[in-house]
């Protein structure tokens, strides 16, 4: 059975002085063993968030990582620098694809770096609005998966069990507009089928948790978790609000219990 995962992407919000108290408030509002909870603050807030979350069961993630181990890359952060600070890492977020011009090839190299370094990647994929309107959403996302796998040398399923994929339609991120649950579930199926088409066994592809991301709130999470193909959410704006996180994680815990009961 795949875990239910709720990951918070704080983006470029919080400071080293307010991040710890916010993390503590979220921990207090979301206590459960049924849901894998991850908070991804800005780099400079990793240490205070790690300290605030000690003993809560919530993992800490970074929002990005450089594909190389070290070198003359001013302003960049390597996987090794994250040791002791983060155990997860968002890779290929659409805001970085847009603002830092990250390609699928670069994203694949970053995935490989995460996996080799013991960081659990949350690999973001998703189509633009014009691509969905042109009926090309699944083809675009399948291509992102394939190119990332090839660039990361991950086309043999070796990393099943470590990789998490977040389907984030770009037009739904930060817009207040969400995908339909059924469309997100169809994309989750397409993603697992793309893994299979690129060298993964059916069993390996089936172990990969697929999250939905895009304007998720406590009010909208239910539509996504009602889909068996969806295993949680990557949450941006709402993840800065403990009350919203409480509602999202509570709904996720209900889903986790129901799936466990159904699996016997
Ligand atoms: C995100 O940052 O991945 C995201 C989905 O943001 P939001 O929930 O604000 O749309």
**CATH code at 206?**
3.20.20.70
Contact 97, 91 (CB under 8 A): no
Q: Residue ranges of the chain with pLDDT lower than 70?
A: none
The pLDDT value recorded for residue 236 is 98
pTM: 0.98
Could you tell me the distance, in angstroms and rounded to a whole number, from the CA of residue 213 to the centre of ligand 1? 6
Please answer whether residues 120 and 88 qualify as being in contact, where contact means their C-beta atoms are separated by less than 8 angstroms: yes
pLDDT of residue 160: 86
pLDDT digits (tens, 9 = 90+) for 127-152: 999 999 999 999 999 999 999 999 99
Q: Which residues of 101-129 are buried (b: 16+ CB within 10 A; e: fewer)?
A: ebebebbbbbbbbbbebebbbbbbbbbbe
- The whole-number pLDDT of residue 158 equals 82
* pLDDT attached to residue 22: 98
Tell the residue nearest (CA) to atom 3 of ligand 1: 236
Q: Which atom of ligand 1 is nearest to the CA of 90?
A: 3
The residue range of the domain holding 151 is 5-263
Total structural domains in the chain? 1
- Give nearest CA residue, ligand 1 atom 6: 236
Catalytic residues: 93, 168
CB atoms within 10 A of CB 20: 20
State the DSSP code for 2.
P
What is the chain's mean pLDDT, rounded? 97
Question: Residue 174: its pLDDT value, please?
Answer: 93
The pLDDT score that the predictor gives to residue 157 is: 81
Quick check: CB of 13 below 6 Å from ligand 1?
A: no
Asked whether 236 lines ligand 1 (CB < 6 A), one says yes
| SS3 category, 254 | helix
36 in ligand 1 pocket by Cβ < 6 Å?
A: no
Q: Which of 214, 217, 224 to mutate to test the pocket of ligand 1 (most atoms within 8 A of CB)?
A: 214
Ligand 1 nearest-atom number relative to CA 233: 5
Owner of token pair 């594909």: 67
Q: Are 187 and 138 in contact (CB under 8 A)?
A: yes
Rounded to whole angstroms, the Cα distance separating 127 from 141 reads 6
Q: Strand (E) positions, 79-222?
A: 88-91, 120-125, 164-167, 210-213
């Amino acid at each position: 059975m795949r875990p239910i995962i709720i990951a918070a992407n704080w983006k470029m919000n919080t400071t080293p002085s307010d991040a710890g108290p916010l993390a503590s408030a979220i921990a207090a509002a979301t206590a459960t063993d049924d849901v894998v909870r991850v908070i991804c603050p800005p780099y400079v807030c990793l240490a205070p968030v790690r300290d605030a979350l000690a003993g809560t069961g919530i993992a800490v993630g970074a929002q990005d990582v450089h594909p190389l181990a070290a070198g003359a890359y001013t302003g960049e952060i390597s996987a090794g620098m994250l040791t002791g600070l983060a155990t997860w890492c968002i890779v290929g977020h659409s805001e970085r694809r847009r603002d830092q011009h990250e390609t699928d090839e670069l994203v694949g190299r970053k995935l490989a770096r995460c996996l080799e370094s013991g960081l659990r990647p949350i690999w973001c994929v998703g189509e633009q609005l014009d691509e969905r309107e042109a009926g090309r959403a699944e083809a675009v996302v399948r291509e992102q998966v394939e190119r990332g796998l090839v660039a990361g040398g991950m086309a043999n399923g070796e990393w099943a069990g470590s990789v998490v994929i977040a389907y984030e339609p770009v037009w739904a991120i930060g817009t207040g507009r969400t995908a339909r649950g059924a469309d997100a579930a169809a994309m989750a199926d397409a993603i697992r089928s793309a893994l299979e088409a690129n060298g993964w066994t059916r069993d390996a592809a089936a172990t990969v948790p697929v999250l939905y991301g895009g304007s998720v709130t406590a009010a909208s999470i239910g539509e996504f978790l009602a889909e068996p193909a969806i295993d949680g959410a990557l949450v941006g704006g709402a993840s800065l609000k403990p009350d919203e996180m409480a509602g999202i994680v509570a709904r996720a815990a209900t889903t986790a219990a129901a799936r466990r009961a159904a699996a016997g």
